[in-house]
Amino acid sequence: MIIDGKAISAATRGDIKAQVDELKKQGVTPGLAVIIVGDDPASRVYVNNKKKACAELGMLSEEYALPADTTEEALLTLIDTLNGREDIDGILCQLPLPRHLDEKRVINAISAEKDVDAFHPVNVGKIMIGDYSFLPCTPAGVMELIRRSNIDVAGKHCVVIGRSNIVGKPMAMLMLHANATVTICHSRTQNLKEICRTADIIVAAVGKAYFVTADMVKEGAVVIDVGMNRNAEGKLCGDVDYDEVSKVASAITPVPGGVGPMTITMLMQNTVTAAKQRRK
C-alpha cells in the first residue's frame, strides 16, 4: 500500500474547514501569525505554503518578514505584541533563525497557548506525560497518516531513526502513547540494521538520502519516510530507498507526496485547536 499523503491531507483539511466554518458562526476566525527572519529560500517556500493553506481554509493569516539583521530585542518585542493580541491564536517563528538570534530564547518567548509548533518547553512536557493540546506538526501528521490508513500501532515494535526535538523524540512519545514498543536509533546506534529488521514500523527521520535500504526492512513492515533530501540529480528524495524498500514493505510513504503535505495541515489543526481552547 502506498500511503497517499496528498489524499489524506485533503481529507483532513476538509475536517478542519468544517471546524473553521463552525467557529466563524460563533464570530471567531482562527488567526495565525508567521514570523520569518532573513531570506532562506526553503523557509520562504514553507511560509508561502502556510499562507495558502490559511486562505484555503478561511483563516486569518499574517506574515512578518523581518530583515536578516533584525535584533533579538526587536524580534522578542514583536512576539510579545502578538502574544497579547486577541485575534491571533497561533504564533510560529520559522526556523532556522540567523545565527545571532538565540533560538531557545525566541521559542520560550512565544506564549505556550499560542505555540502551534509545540516547541515550547511547557508543550514538550505535556507531550511527555500524554496530556497535550498541540503536537509538533510532522509527528502529528505521521500519526494521522497511520490512523487514516487503518494501521494498528498497539503492541507493534516501532523503530524511530533520528532523535531530533522536532521529529524523532516527539515521534517516539506519540508511538508510545499509541501503545507501540519503541526503539530510538541514531548516529551512534550499533547494529542498526539488525534492530531495524525487528521493526513492524520504521519511521526514518535522519536527513540522509536513501539511508534505509531493503536489507534493513523485514517483510511486511510499515515504512514512514520523513526525510526531504536532494539526490545527485537534484530531485527530491527521502531517507528511504523507495524503489527497493517498497518491494518488501506492506505500506510505505513516497517522497514527495507522503509525510510532507501533512505537516502544514496539522499546523492548521493546531491553530484551530488553539482558537477553541483560548475561548473555551
10-residue mean pLDDT profile of the chain (280 residues): values are 97 98 97 95 89 97 97 98 98 95 97 97 96 94 98 98 96 98 96 98 96 98 96 94 98 96 96 93
**CATH 3.60.15.10 given to domain 137-260:** no
pLDDT of residue 38: 95
Strand partners, 265: none
Burial 44-59 (b: 16+ CB within 10 A, else e): eebbeebeebbeebeb
Where does CATH 3.40.50.10860 sit in the chain? 27-112
Largest CA distance in the chain: 56
Where does CATH 3.40.50.720 sit in the chain? 137-260
131 tagged catalytic: no
Catalytic residue among 4, 94, 156, 200: 94
**Architecture in CATH of 27-112:** 3-Layer(aba) Sandwich (3.40)
Task: Say which amino acid occupies 58.
Answer: G
Beta strands in the chain (DSSP E): 31-37, 60-66, 90-93, 157-161, 181-185, 201-204, 222-225, 229-230, 236-237, 251-252
pLDDT of residue 164: 94
pLDDT of residue 280: 79
pLDDT of residue 28: 96
Model-level pTM?
0.94
pLDDT of residue 89: 98
H/E run at residue 267: helix 260-278
Catalytic residue among 4, 117, 225, 239: 117
117 tagged catalytic: yes
The alpha carbon of residue 155 and the mean position of all alpha carbons in its chain are separated, in whole angstroms, by 24
